[in-house]
Copies of this chain bind each other. A is one copy, B any other.
Amino acid sequence: MKLLLCDVGNTSYHIADAKSTYKKAVSAFNPASITEKIYYSCVNQAVLKVLQSLDNWINIADYVDKTQYYASMGIDRICAVQALENAVVVDAGSAITVDVVRENQFEGGFISPGIEAMRQTYKNISPALDYSFNFDLDLAIMPKNSQDAISYGFLKTLYSEVMSQNLPIVLTGGNAKELQKIFKNATVNEHLIFDGMKQIIKKAQLC
């Protein structure tokens, strides 16, 4: 399939053409500059309004069987889940969404703040908590320094919850590689949402 695909998040357009994928900042990119047919998933409400006014931009959300999901669930999460049969999907961007798929059924999911958002949060609480996270943290030991104390508070709690599902872990999103330092046996798939979009397009016989 030679498809033009786009996943729009809170901060960027992530575009896949036949040859490569690339990102454009939401603040700087004009979607009308693309004149070919392009399928998109979009969780950014402001951008969504613009895309809906462009005839060649086709909303993948209109072709998903939503019965097993919930009304306010981001279409990016639905696409990622559609791409897998048995997995915990951890999509690490401005938020970290964690979704559980077992035997093709979506079981539910939760949302943590993203790495940068959490760093800002700790920093805003107190200058004494202004550290970057230690991804080499030993998760088996209760911390005895400030950097590890915030790293553990963010990463260990996320780690334990994801691991408790006893499923293969698939990491995607802009911060997937950072999280792989914690989830050492996880697979990184930076094109998971595009994989899901392709499946939805195929199932709906759109091309």
Taking beta carbons and an 8 Å cutoff, which residues of A are in contact with B?
Answer: 10, 43, 45, 69-70, 72-74, 94-98, 100, 107-114, 117-118, 120-122, 124-129, 141-146, 148-150, 152-154, 156-158, 160-161, 164
Contact A113 B122, beta carbon cutoff 8 Å: yes
Whether B43 pairs with A112 at a CB distance below 8 angstroms is no
A94, B161: Cβ atoms closer than 8 Å: no
B72 touches A152 (CB 8 A): no
C-alpha gap A121/B112 in the complex (Å): 10
**A10 partner, pick from B118, B126, B154, beta carbons under 8 A:** B126
Cβ-defined contact, A110 with B146, below 8 A: no
Give 8 nearest A-B pairs by CB, closest first. A108-B142, A157-B157, A110-B152, A112-B153, A110-B153, A72-B146, A111-B149, A121-B121
